[in-house]
Amino acid sequence: MPTVTRTFTVEPAPATVIDYLKDFSHAEEWDPGTESCTRQDAGPVQVGSTFHNVSKIAGVTTELTYRLEELTPSLVKFRGENDSAETTDTITVTPSGTGSEIHYEAVIEAKGTAGKLAEPVMKLLFERIGTKTEKQMTEVLNRLTPGPASPA
């Protein structure tokens, strides 16, 4: 099963990062494969919240239902599933100077024989996507940091 990990730093503090990332509908902004991601339930985002994600990877559109599995002041964990795959995205956020260090891990598990045979190719593909995800997530999170106060 392909696993992709990235560790990088961003300017916002961990609380700001976690608050933003716990809402998986924001994946439209930071995940290069996500075309749309819609919350399926209502109320505050919490463990159990679900999201319908439509992604396009290597020209193939796929839909997954993601569930927020864990949420702590330093961790957000989502599990996505459809008929052909399961994915677990775990994002750990720790203080780093005045900002945050992010450790992002995506584990993709194909279902069925054909999916299992394709895993070596999937690993290469998801490594490239992981690099793009790191870049986009860094840019999006850094925009959450308030700029300098404007003069009065």
- pLDDT level of residue 56 (50, 70, 90 thresholds): confident
Distance CA 30, CA 21 (A): 10
Predicted pLDDT of residue 148: 45
Classify 95 as helix, strand or coil: strand
Domain boundaries, the chain: 3-142
Alpha-helical (H) ranges within the chain are 14-21, 27-30, 112-117, 119-142
8 Å CB contact between 40 and 52 = yes
8 Å CB contact between 33 and 55 = yes
Distance CA 120, CA 148 (A): 47
Average pLDDT for residues 53-67, to the nearest whole number?
88
pTM score: 0.84
Predicted pLDDT of residue 108: 86
Predicted pLDDT of residue 125: 64
Average pLDDT for residues 114-142, to the nearest whole number?
71
Topology (CATH level 3) of domain 3-142: Alpha-D-Glucose-1,6-Bisphosphate; Chain A, domain 4 (3.30.530)
Identify the residue with better confidence: 84 or 72: 72
Whether the pLDDT of residue 117 is over 60: the answer is no
